[in-house]
Chains A and B, each alone.
Chain A
């Protein structure tokens, strides 16, 4: 158990629908990241939040949005779903604090597998 909790583990839905994926970071971590893993695109960074504020944005579609709440859990909202959105969505967390090395070490959750039919 990595300490990063993602729900649901599996989700099957239809095109045009909207889903919400949830992530609880490891205790003490302030940063949350969302990644999408698909066969053709590999691991793509979507978005990062730090202590409730958006810090970095990657290849996130306009149909997707995310937020981080005061208790530091995060939600990724995917709307107007298309077949191509079927993928494994990972959440990761890190302390986000400036350490001795200045490096960012991410801890990943087990992922949420989304299937759009």
Chain B
């Protein structure tokens, strides 16, 4: 079975600062990796996904993530955040057509 650990429950940053949200996964086989974002009172929206190929994945809203197989990590980064990026971010893993297993989420709090 696979599992996901999001190391930070909350990350406060100032507007225009860079941010990294950390995600580690455990699985004995190859997996697919995802980041979803949940804005207040909304559903989950797919930010980006790693399925195969280049380990650097670019997503929507200027986010990117790097798949590191040796570190079993899939950290999410943005070089300059905006107030509107304030949301909860979920890392998820799946294997083949299995269901997604989510991490506990990281609340990104962007202040002016």
Contacts and interface: CB of A to CB of B under 8 A. Distances in A.
Q: How large is the interface on A (under 10, 10 to 19, 20 to 34, 35 or more residues)?
A: 20 to 34
Given A101-B52, A103-B32, A109 B102 contact: no
Counting chain A CB atoms within 10 Å of each CB, which of B45, B96, B100 scores highest? B100
Interface in A86-117: 90, 92, 96, 98, 101-111
Contact of B97 (A4, A43, A98, A108): A98
Interface of B: 32, 34, 36, 42-46, 49, 51-52, 90, 94, 96-105
A98 B97 CA distance: 8
Given A42-B105, A43-B90, A104 B100 contact: yes
A24 to B, nearest CB: 14
A48 B32 contact: no
Contact of B100 (A96, A106, A110): A106
A106 B97 CA distance: 11
B43 A110 contact: yes
Given A101-B52, A103-B51, A42 B98 contact: no
